[in-house]
Amino acid sequence: MLKCPPHLFRFGFKLGEVGSSDWEHLVERGALAFAREEGGRDLGLATVDEVLETVSRCDRALTRPGGSVLLAGRAGIGRRSAVAVTAAMHRAKLVALKMTNSYGVKQFKGELKAAMQTTGVDGEQVRRH
């Protein structure tokens, strides 16, 4: 589950219409921002309609007060990339859980604590995936 920090949307923003070419440009800029933040790691994201729609849905869900999203589907359809681009577009840090066979509640609590510390103490936005 991904959560959006409520302090960002305390006063709300008015929705506006964005043309498809403008949206494609925004998504491409988000992918470039992610690559810069991750030390040049390219997402290899093709800006086809399905990807643009997934990023749009993630963006809309995560920018609502208390917004969250659960993405399920086949491997390789761009869920993780969509969340990474959305996080980059909002200058939020993306935190990935380090799942292993021995992963349990203790490990989850430790990772959650670290993410909460980044948000609460350091004042950064955090997205989990």
Inform me whether the pLDDT recorded for 9 exceeds 70: no
- Higher pLDDT residue, 28 or 66? 28
In a domain, residue 83? The reply is: yes
In a domain, residue 24? The reply is: yes
| Nearest by Cα to 61 from 46, 83, 77 | 83
In a domain, residue 20? The reply is: yes
Which region, left, alpha or beta, applies to residue 91 given φ > 0 means left and ψ of -120 to 50 means alpha? Answer: left
What is the arithmetic mean of pLDDT over 107-123?
A: 81
In a domain, residue 16? The reply is: yes
What is the arithmetic mean of pLDDT over 54-69?
A: 84
What is the arithmetic mean of pLDDT over 12-24?
A: 73
In a domain, residue 93? The reply is: yes
For the chain, the domain total comes to 1
In a domain, residue 1? The reply is: no
Among 8-22, 74-88, 107-121, where is mean pLDDT lowest?
8-22
Name the strand (E) or helix (H) holding 93.
strand 93-95
Q: What percent of the chain has pLDDT over 70?
A: 81
Give residue 63's domain range: 6-128
In a domain, residue 91? The reply is: yes
Q: Which residue has the tokens 């208390």?
A: 66
At residue 29, the pLDDT reads 87
